[in-house]
Amino acid sequence: MASDRRTRAAVEFTHAFEARLADMERYWSRLAQPRSYDRLLDSIDTKVIPLLERFPAIGRLFLDSMPDNCDALLACEKLIEATGGSTQRAELREHIFDDYVLLYWLGGQTVKLLSIRRSKELSLDFDHIWDPER
């Protein structure tokens, strides 16, 4: 079989993403279901990362709709400004797998994993809405 010479995206974990994983580990440990956390890590390692490396734009655009409040609009504007200097505009995307929603940033051939939540959680926040370990 011929080798696959296609360019692959680099997938990086952010500190916020790692913190969410730690929260999820504590959550599953509290429920005495550590295998659920192991399955999550296995899915990220064997399904999600290879998929994002090969098809980084597979997730749907997160900012496709206009934000419905001032805070969300300001946060979106900051994201756009933060990526304004690059030659290729970055995109905020979400990818759904198993029971999880993954929020990631795609800029050129770099994918940065920003946050993850179980699909049963209410939002993808970021420290303001949820307490730690939720």
Q: Where are the domains of the chain?
A: 10-118
One-letter amino acid of 76:
C
Question: What per-residue confidence (pLDDT) applies to 1?
Answer: 46
- In total, the chain counts a number of residues equal to 134
Computed over every residue of the chain, the mean pLDDT equals: 81
Buried/exposed 17-50: b ≥16 CB within 10 Å, e otherwise: beebbebbbeebeeeeeeebbeebeeebeeebbe
Question: What per-residue confidence (pLDDT) applies to 61?
Answer: 87
Residue 133 backbone class (left: φ over 0; alpha: ψ -120 to 50; beta: rest): left
The CA distance from 35 to 81, in Å, is 41
Please answer whether residues 105 and 12 qualify as being in contact, where contact means their C-beta atoms are separated by less than 8 angstroms: no
Tell me which CATH code domain 10-118 carries: 3.30.2310.20
Please answer whether residues 106 and 115 qualify as being in contact, where contact means their C-beta atoms are separated by less than 8 angstroms: no
Q: CA nearest 91: which of 71, 66, 68, 61?
A: 61
Single pTM value for the model: 0.74
Question: What per-residue confidence (pLDDT) applies to 129?
Answer: 47
Euclidean distance between the first and the last CA atom of the chain, given in angstroms as a whole number: 46
Mean pLDDT by 10 residues, the chain (134 residues): 70 94 94 94 97 95 71 69 59 91 91 88 51 51
- Here the tokens at position 78 are 């900051």
